[in-house]
Amino acid sequence: MSSQSSKAISRKELIQMYRMMVTIRTFEQREAELYRQGLQDGFVHLYLGEEAIATGVCAVLRKDDYITSTHRGHGHLIARGSDLKKIMAELFDRETSYCKAKGGSLHMPRNLLKFVATFL
């Protein structure tokens, strides 16, 4: 990266990034808790400990940039601006989710956010 293309991160941006990491961590901790309680069918692929990756990557993306992720894609979805309730709804097979309960933890595309789902 050349010095011409890099810029300093403002205090405001740093605070926004910190808040995003906390949001991702809180969401994933809640998801883990619900899974441990046996309230979710199937398996969950948590993003705990990886919050800074999605936050940093998504902070520099343009609105028209596409992103994809691995089977641990919740953090990227959240950092890209997805609705937390819709993500959780997908994890619990609700029709109000992004994929109408067809994607689960692994496959949650969100075309408006330029997120390409993982397909195995």
Write out pLDDT tens, residues 14-49: 999 999 999 999 999 999 999 999 988 778 888 999
Whether residue 38 contacts residue 76, with contact meaning beta carbons closer than 8 Å, is answered with no
Give the C-alpha separation, 47 to 66, whole Å.
20
Q: Radius of gyration of the chain from Cα atoms?
A: 15
Share of the chain above pLDDT 90, in %: 38
Confidence check: pLDDT of 74 > 80: yes
